[in-house]
């Protein structure tokens, strides 16, 4: 076995040549690429090596000796340690340009030299305090008798020592130091690995994961904390199915968010998937509805529909919508939200969309338009079936430009669809996540 090469301990000074897709600066030292976190093109920096590989190495900036004139001053004091976001040193507009470049290059690389006829305007929103849902990692540090609550460090191994977060909504960010104090008081402090928090129209909910039963004293402390800070608290002793409402013990176990343009309110549970950026979600839904160009006689298929984020607003403008989702719990939530909003022209189905769907009852129905919003793995399995379905227009919302590009290539290669338009959304400002959408029309 080849012995692993030791990391250089001395700092290295170099010039940064370019910017990688993930926002890291790229230098070349002795002919080998080095990806340097926190560096920008044209800068002279001193960096510390963090990993060595066969074809490339990795590092992190220690000092910027000659800054790029466009370098931004990070708002977060924990930017050098916390791994929650990595682009704060890049101006917001330049972050958007980077994400547009990523989508363009992925379409070229994975889509077979694809380019849309039209580029859509970028969907933007607030870049600070926008995140309304988060999973905090928790760690009790025995040697210091202290508790860390927050996100993983950039190296991913430890929990960052933070007391605030600039991208979290203030109502969630304020909980970080408060939760540190609470957990430190608990007998179970070594056995609480995570706390999930979510903000809805009504306020905040949190789900505490605990690996051992809570003592009566621990329960009393958590109960008092939740009551004092007006938080709906849930406990999770095992898997997701074990979650129970703890404080207040009675009342509905729901949060909610709104789509004011469509006069809709969606109720959800704290661990349900919902878009974390409320403003971008509202603008995204409105744009998707516009692009679908719905008419009163349209029948629409919404694949990977979740709790009906797109399904219900579409239903207000067309004859009917069928929503399909792999999670049965989300399907149930879709029906609940349809009933809550008095919408009757929708049907939801639970189905694993990575399997053969040709015999599903909804799959044999005709549809005029199709919307799909798949997970990061994309929807390659559905592309041949979609071509045979023959919808007039397909709108594809994506959280992974590589799989969007791959699937777009499959649609265009069929000879039945043309690539009309594409664009990005700044759903996760200051991070490398690229959200995008694409439109395809039948030839």
Say if residue 249 is in the same domain as residue 151: yes
- Phi, psi at 203, each rounded to 5°: 140, -150
Say if residue 301 is in the same domain as residue 394: yes
pLDDT score at 1: 52
pLDDT digits (tens, 9 = 90+) for 260-308: 999 999 999 999 999 999 999 999 999 999 999 999 999 999 999 999 9
The Cα 230–Cα 404 span in angstroms is 41
Say if residue 313 is in the same domain as residue 200: no
CATH number of 22's domain: 2.40.50.140
Other C-beta atoms closer than 10 Å to the C-beta of 433 total: 15
Hunting for tokens 């220690």 — which residue is that?
62
CATH number of 363's domain: 3.40.50.150
pLDDT score at 237: 96
Other C-beta atoms closer than 10 Å to the C-beta of 384 total: 12
Hunting for tokens 């370019």 — which residue is that?
18
Say if residue 300 is in the same domain as residue 429: yes
Q: What's the sign of the alpha-carbon dihedral 37, 41, 43, 49?
A: positive
- Phi, psi at 269, each rounded to 5°: -90, 155
**DSSP labels, 370-384:** EEE---TT--GGGHH
In the chain, which residues have pLDDT < 70?
A: 1-3, 251
**What's the number of CA atoms in the CB half-sphere (13 Å) around residue 221?**
17
Q: 76, 82, 298, 399: which one is catalytic?
A: 399
Which residues have C-beta within 8 Å of that of residue 2, sequence separation ≥ 6?
none
Residue at 296 is within a domain = yes
Beta bridge partners of residue 203, listed in sequence order: 200
pLDDT score at 87: 95
Residue at 261 is within a domain = no
pLDDT score at 249: 79
As to burial, measured by CB atoms within 10 angstroms (0-12 exposed, 13-18 middle, 19+ buried), residue 344 is: exposed
Cα angle 135, 137, 143; round to 5: 165
Domain interval for residue 186: 133-255
Structure token digits, residue 50: 């963090």
CA 4 to chain centre: 35
Contact by Cβ (8 Å): 117, 420: yes
Residue at 263 is within a domain = no
Residue 399 is a catalytic residue = yes
pLDDT score at 6: 85
Say if residue 337 is in the same domain as residue 408: yes
- Domains identified in the chain, total number: 3
pLDDT score at 3: 64
Least Cα distance to 274 among 200, 339, 344 occurs for 200
Structure token digits, residue 54: 């066969």
Other C-beta atoms closer than 10 Å to the C-beta of 353 total: 18
Say if residue 235 is in the same domain as residue 284: no
Question: What stretch of H or E contains 204?
Answer: strand 203-209
Say if residue 225 is in the same domain as residue 120: no
Say if residue 121 is in the same domain as residue 160: no
Judge if the upstream peptide bond of residue 184 is cis by omega within 30 degrees of 0: no
Which residues have C-beta within 8 Å of that of residue 238, sequence separation ≥ 6?
none
CA distances for 89 relative to 79, 150, 211, angstroms: 9, 21, 38
Residue at 262 is within a domain = no
Structure token digits, residue 414: 């069929």
Say if residue 33 is in the same domain as residue 175: no
Residue at 345 is within a domain = yes
Say if residue 228 is in the same domain as residue 363: no
Structure token digits, residue 244: 């129970």
CATH number of 175's domain: 2.40.50.1070
pTM of this prediction exceeds 0.75: yes
The Cα 183–Cα 268 span in angstroms is 26
């Amino acid at each position: 076995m080849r012995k692993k090469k030791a990391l250089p301990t001395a700092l290295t000074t170099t010039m940064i040549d370019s910017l990688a897709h993930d926002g890291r600066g790229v230098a070349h030292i002795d002919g080998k690429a080095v990806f340097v976190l926190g560096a920008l093109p044209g800068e002279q920096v001193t960096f510390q090596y963090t990993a060595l590989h066969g074809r490339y190495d990795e590092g992190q900036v220690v000092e910027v000796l000659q800054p790029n004139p466009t370098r931004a001053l990070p708002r977060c004091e924990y930017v050098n340690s916390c791994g929650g976001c990595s682009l704060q040193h890049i101006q917001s507009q330049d972050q958007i340009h980077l994400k547009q470049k990523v989508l363009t290059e992925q379409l070229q690389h994975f889509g077979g030299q694809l380019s849309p006829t039209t580029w859509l305007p970028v969907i933007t929103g607030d870049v600070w305090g926008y995140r309304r849902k988060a999973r905090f990692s928790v760690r009790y540090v025995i040697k210091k008798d202290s508790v860390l609550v927050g996100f993983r460090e950039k190296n991913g191994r430890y929990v960052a020592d933070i007391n605030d977060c600039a991208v979290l909504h203030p109502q969630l960010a304020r909980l970080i130091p408060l939760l540190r104090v609470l957990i430190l008081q608990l007998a179970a402090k070594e056995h609480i690995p995570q706390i999930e928090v979510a903000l809805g129209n009504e306020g905040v909910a949190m789900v505490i994961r605990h690996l051992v039963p809570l003592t009566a004293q621990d329960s009393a402390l958590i109960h008092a904390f939740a009551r004092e800070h007006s938080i709906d608290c849930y406990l999770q002793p095992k898997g997701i199915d074990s979650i129970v409402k703890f404080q207040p013990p009675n009342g509905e176990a729901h949060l909610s968010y709104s789509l004011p343009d469509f006069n809709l309110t969606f109720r959800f549970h704290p661990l349900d998937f919902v878009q974390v950026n409320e403003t971008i979600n509202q603008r995204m839904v409105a744009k998707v509805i516009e692009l679908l160009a719905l008419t009163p006689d349209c029948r629409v298929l919404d694949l990977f529909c979740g709790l009906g984020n797109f399904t219900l607003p579409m239903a207000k403008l067309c004859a009917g919508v069928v929503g399909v989702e792999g999670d049965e719990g989300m399907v149930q939530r879709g029906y609940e939200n349809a009933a809550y909003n008095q919408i009757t022209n929708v049907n939801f189905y639970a189905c694993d969309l990575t399997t053969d769907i040709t015999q599903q009852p909804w799959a044999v129905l005709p549809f005029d338009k199709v919307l799909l919003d798949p997970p990061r793995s994309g929807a390659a399995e559905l592309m041949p079936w979609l071509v045979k379905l023959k919808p007039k227009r397909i709108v594809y919302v994506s959280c992974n430009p590589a799989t969007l590009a791959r699937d777009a290539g499959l649609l265009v290669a069929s000879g039945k669809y043309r690539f009309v338009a594409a664009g990005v959304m700044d759903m996760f400002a200051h991070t490398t996540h690229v959200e995008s959408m694409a439109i395809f029309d039948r030839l």
